[in-house]
Chains A and B, each alone.
Chain A
Amino acid sequence: MNQAWLKPPIFIASLLPLAWYLWGLQADALGANPIEAVTRGLGTWGLNFLLITLTVTPLRKYSGWAWLARLRRMLGLFAFFYVCLHLTTYLWLDQFFDWTAIVKDIWKRPFITVGMTAFALLLPLALTSNNAAIRKLGGRRWQALHRSVYVIAMLAVLHYSWMVKADLAKPLLYAGLLAVLLGLRIGWRVRERNRQRNAIPPAKTRHTIPIGVRR
């Protein structure tokens, strides 16, 4: 089945959050503190897209829709896109490019430190999100590199929860969703390891195992 036609509408849909904030800014519809609303909103959408990207593989496995894999790169790059915008609002509208203050902030404020670390780790993933990089790195190494997205997502949730004053409900919701997405992967790994352990061993050693012991 070829679902290639789905890509453009999903691309457009992924731009809707940005469109909403741009419209809200010019229509004065973002409340009393529009800059805060935009900064937080863009950060939230960065995190949303990280989680959406991490949902692609489980959804593909359980639904059998192989074509979903083709959306993963685009969704991951949208996560990077919103994270970049989020970072820009911080550098510009919060710090007004006062680099000494920014460096101090990164050093002193754990939630900024964690956010910046997540961004620094996300950057190489965005830069290698193309076929040329996969060819150059080789599939295995590329995949190993891109597994750091699990750590990045955890740092992003930590960044969110350390910013909140008292009500941890929303950060905990994200932590729960992420735990499910990562838990599934741990489950697959364990099952895969068990399968390999129980698989028919190589021919050389086959006869050394007495019949009847296996299984």
Chain B
Amino acid sequence: MRIRHPAAIAASEITPRALFDRRREFLRASAGLALSTLVPQAEARLGPGKPSIYSTSEAPTPLKHVAGYNNFYEFGTDKEDPAQYAHALHTRPWTVSIEGLVQKPKTLGIEELLRLAPLEERIYRLRCVEGWSMVIPWLGFPLATVLKQVEPLGNAKYVELVTAAQEDTMPGVKRHVLDWPYTEGLRLDEAMHPLTLIAVGLYGDVLPNQNGAPLRLVVPWKYGFKSGKSIVKIRFTESEPRTAWMKAAPREYGFYSNVNPEVDHPRWSQATERRIGEFFKRRTLPFNGYGEQVAQLYAGMDLRKQF
């Protein structure tokens, strides 16, 4: 007996290849349309941003996790606290003062900062010192763009980043878990490195407050805590700044804090990590997989001692 197999899908039902290839654009456009008709006052989307050669092709972590599982101790020390409380953060008006060892100190408003350079999409891995990791599509521009505005002096060797400590909006600031305001720092060559990003958005949209709105640092080869959130001041210094975590536990957190599977946190191993959404753990890569771009910054240094 002859069995006929009818075609499962009529040819007319199949999406033409050209349209299929543009499906993301279509979704994005329709999402944008839906948003603009439903909430006309909603902030305009920032994205999609120029694609970057520095982006990874790994699957990005879903937005609900990127914006729902955060360490932002100013809003509380539980991972869910920032998403719960950060809506109160005042993000406008917002200025960033750039000062210290510079020719032309400046205070830039967030609007000016957003006009400094075209936004790029940088899909970076993020490795937390606690042993988990994500892949996040940031929107932003190199920190170098900002630093060049003020003409650093010859003796400037480091930049210190000071972040917001709004007592009225940040419940965590009332408790002395860390020395507020939270500060971080980079050596000048690290700060000027093209991978070092000022992020103002993620997933094509304005940065959620819990991720460090309106602007934050992203240094993808270092543990996440180096990437300070909600920055209000950038100061050029000659000596190495003492960061908030170095003050809290100098034995556990060094100035460099490069992702390094060989150098354990004194209390736990850094050899592996759990990518959010995955069951098995992954091997952690030196410099979080950015060694090709940044390893030469540390040539000749003993990274066990200068951790």
Contacts and interface: CB of A to CB of B under 8 A. Distances in A.
Contacts of B80: 31
Contacts of A33: 69, 79, 132, 274, 276
Interface in A95-111: 96, 101, 105, 108-111
The CB with the most chain B CB atoms within 10 A, among A32, A93, A105, A111, is that of A32
Given A111-B267, A166-B249, A32 B73 contact: no
Contacts of B274: 33, 35-36
A162 interface: yes
Interface in B178-236: 178
Interface string B159-184: 00000000000000001011000000
B68 A166 contact: no
B198 to A, nearest CB: 25
Interface residues of B, number: 27
A167 B177 contact: yes
A197 to B, nearest CB: 46
B262 interface: no
B267 A31 contact: no
B127 to A, nearest CB: 14
A96 B267 contact: no
A166 B248 contact: yes
Interface in A154-202: 162-163, 165-167, 169
The CB with the most chain A CB atoms within 10 A, among B73, B269, B271, B277, is that of B269
Contacts of A93: 279
B279 to A, nearest CB: 8
Nearest to B249: A166
Contacts of A162: 267
The CB with the most chain A CB atoms within 10 A, among B73, B177, B267, is that of B267
Contacts of B65: 32
Interface in B252-277: 264, 267-269, 271, 274, 276-277
B73 A166 contact: yes
Contacts of B271: 101
A36 B267 CA distance: 17
Contacts, number: 50
Interface residues of A, number: 20
B130 interface: yes
A166 B69 contact: no
Interface string A68-96: 00000000000000000000000001101
Nearest to B68: A32
A110 B267 contact: yes
A35 B248 CA distance: 28
A169 B280 CA distance: 31
Contacts of B279: 35, 93
Interface string B40-78: 000000000000000000000100110011000100010
A166 B249 CA distance: 8
B276 A32 contact: yes
A33 B271 CA distance: 18
Contacts of A96: 280-281
A109 B267 CA distance: 5
The CB with the most chain A CB atoms within 10 A, among B248, B280, B281, is that of B281
B269 A105 contact: yes
A96 B279 CA distance: 11
A32 B79 contact: yes
Interface of A: 31-33, 35-36, 93-94, 96, 101, 105, 108-111, 162-163, 165-167, 169
Interface of B: 61, 64-65, 68-69, 73, 77, 79-80, 130, 132, 175, 177-178, 248-249, 264, 267-269, 271, 274, 276-277, 279-281
7 contacts: A31-B69, A32-B64, A32-B277, A101-B269, A108-B264, A165-B130, A166-B178
Given A93-B279, A105-B269, 18 more contacts: A31-B68, A31-B69, A31-B80, A32-B68, A32-B69, A32-B276, A33-B69, A33-B274, A35-B274, A35-B279, A36-B274, A94-B281, A101-B269, A109-B267, A109-B268, A166-B77, A166-B248, A167-B175
